[in-house]
Amino acid sequence: MGRRLAIGTTIGTAALLAVAGCGGSTGSTAAAGSTTLSFFGADYGAGSANSTTKYWDAIASAFHKANPSITVKVQTVDWTDFPTKVQTLVQNKQFPDVLEGDAAPQFAQSHLLYPDSQVLSPSLLANMMPTFLKDGQYQGTDYGIPFTTSTRALYYNKKIFAAAGIAAPPQTWAQLQSDAAKIKAKGYVGYGMPLGSEEAQAEALLWFLGDGGGYVNASGTYDINSQQNVQALQFMSGLAKAGDTQPSPGTTDRKDVWAQFAQGRVGMMLGSPAVIPIIQAAGVLKTADYATADVPGKNAPLTSTLGVHDDVVAFNTGGHQAAIRKFLDFAYQDKYQLEFDHEYDLLPATKSAAASMSANPMFAAFLKNIPQSVNYPAKASWQTVQDQIQTTLGQAVSGSPSKILNAIQKTAVSGG
């Protein structure tokens, strides 16, 4: 493995240096009156067939037709590489004008962003769902522009439930545990519990909420090692140790559990609307074979579930405020919002698009959860906390929950 690695690193280093060497501002104003905006976004697709580049390119060219003086250059990158790529862009000061996919407070903290009021028309700003808008605040000003959202629910396999003699989806943890044991006895995975590094923070929060816990307390300060959270993890640990989950939940990623559910091998799991296309692609489960229900809690189902959202932010580093505003007003039309959500089975971020989408029964259940959804903490330090949760929380099911939560709380408090 020697030589190849060495050559690989050499070429890699040279390429990086070349990139760094040519570095300059990307969004440049060329001839008088004509502006080029650079757009950098996450790719929600699976491969080139449904790449998000296509979606943005279509908007960019329609926008260019309407505004010939403004050109938008689109680049998207796969979710896995997205954080690293954004980090590199920022570190090399190659800021895009518009970035889609990251949270706002961390950039706002470094004074890199235009506030929403400067890059959105008042009517568009008023059309944003308030529950997501408030997450993008930094020191009381809106910086994040919600673009796409989703909420979580319990998915269950009706066929497996029938085979195990379970009449209705569980509403409490105790019911979930006994149902999972029955399903396991039939040779399936009872409950799919992904606590691997992909998205441990979501799975954990949905359990924390079931016990009245969460990442922050009522006053909005970090309270990660609360008694409720420790108890929730202890319960999860009990499930895993009894074999009612898939083996090694601490290293299982969400995508693996979702894929196994789509293959008809998992009885229950938590998921977003994005599970639906995976089930359809697998072709094992028919629409009548599975359903969604409220997420079970310790004593009753959750009244507010996890809502996640990906934001657009507008960088002030290129000085293209007017052009960005025109572009965002154009890109947030209902037809584009709906097109995106249709393509990737996500939910819209504007009230008007949500209203027209709620006619679809498949999404209605998820949409109705939005107004009272709980989101991740809107803090500049959240990203750091989330990284640590993703890396270490999985150990809680095999080790000591309180020790791990204490360590995360320590990072959270020291970071802000």
Partner 1 sequence: MTHAAAAGETAGERLGPASAPAGPVIPAAAPRPHRAGRGAQVRRRLEPLAWLAPAAILIAVVVLWPIVTLVQTSMQNITPIGVTIGSAGTRNFSKLFQDPNLPGILVRTVVWVVAVVALTMLISLGLAQLFNQRFPGRRVARWALIAPWAASVMMTALIFRWMLQPDNGAINIFLHQLGIVSQLNSNQSSWLGRPDSALAWMIGVAVFVSVPFTTYALLAGLQSIPGELFEAAKIDGATRWRSYRAITLPLLRPAFLVAAVINLMNVFNSFPIIWEMTRGGPGYETNTTTVFMYNLKESFIGEAAAMSIVNFTLIIVIVLIYLRLNNWSRPDPREAR
Among 55, 107, 215, 261, binds partner 1 (CB under 8 A): 107
Number of residues that bind partner 1 (CB under 8 A): 53
**Separation between Cα atoms, residue 412 and residue 414, nearest integer Å:** 6
Q: Which is nearer to partner 1, 25 or 88 (CB)?
A: 88
Say if strands 145-151 and 137-138 run parallel, antiparallel, or are unpaired. unpaired
C-beta of residue 216 within 8 angstroms of C-beta of residue 377: yes
Q: Does residue number 251 form part of the binding site for partner 1 (CB under 8 A)? A: yes
Minimum CB distance to partner 1, residue 17 (Å): 6
Among 29, 67, 88, 352, binds partner 1 (CB under 8 A): 88
Q: Does residue number 80 form part of the binding site for partner 1 (CB under 8 A)? A: no
Between the alpha carbon of residue 407 and those of residues 148, 198, 252, 402, the distances in Å are 32, 20, 22, 9
What secondary structure does DSSP assign to 223-238, as a single string? -TT-HHHHHHHHHHHH
Among 1, 32, 167, 288, binds partner 1 (CB under 8 A): 1
By CB under 8 A, which span of 107-115, 145-153, 354-362, 370-378 interacts with partner 1? 107-115
DSSP character for 306? B
DSSP character for 294? P
Minimum CB distance to partner 1, residue 355 (Å): 35
By CB under 8 A, which span of 100-108, 206-214, 301-309, 319-327 interacts with partner 1? 100-108
Q: Does residue number 41 form part of the binding site for partner 1 (CB under 8 A)? A: no
- Report residue 373 as tokens: 């959804």
Between the alpha carbon of residue 345 and those of residues 64, 148, 266, the distances in Å are 27, 10, 21
C-beta of residue 141 within 8 angstroms of C-beta of residue 115: yes
Site string for partner 1, 153-192 (x = CB under 8 A): ------------------------------------x---
**Separation between Cα atoms, residue 170 and residue 176, nearest integer Å:** 5
**Separation between Cα atoms, residue 324 and residue 346, nearest integer Å:** 24
By CB under 8 A, which span of 90-98, 163-171, 268-276, 352-360 interacts with partner 1? 90-98
Q: Does residue number 406 form part of the binding site for partner 1 (CB under 8 A)? A: no
Say if strands 35-43 and 98-102 run parallel, antiparallel, or are unpaired. parallel
Minimum CB distance to partner 1, residue 58 (Å): 29
Among 169, 296, 394, 401, binds partner 1 (CB under 8 A): 394
DSSP character for 172? B
- Report residue 20 as tokens: 């760094």
Say if strands 70-78 and 98-102 run parallel, antiparallel, or are unpaired. unpaired
Backbone angles phi, psi at 221, to 5 degrees: -100, 155
Among 92, 118, 217, 303, binds partner 1 (CB under 8 A): 92
Q: Does residue number 383 form part of the binding site for partner 1 (CB under 8 A)? A: yes
- Name the residues that contact partner 1, by CB under 8 A: 1-6, 9-10, 12-14, 16-17, 20, 83-84, 86-92, 102, 106-107, 109-110, 112, 189, 196-197, 243, 246-248, 250-252, 260, 265, 383-384, 387-388, 391-392, 394-395, 398-399, 404, 407
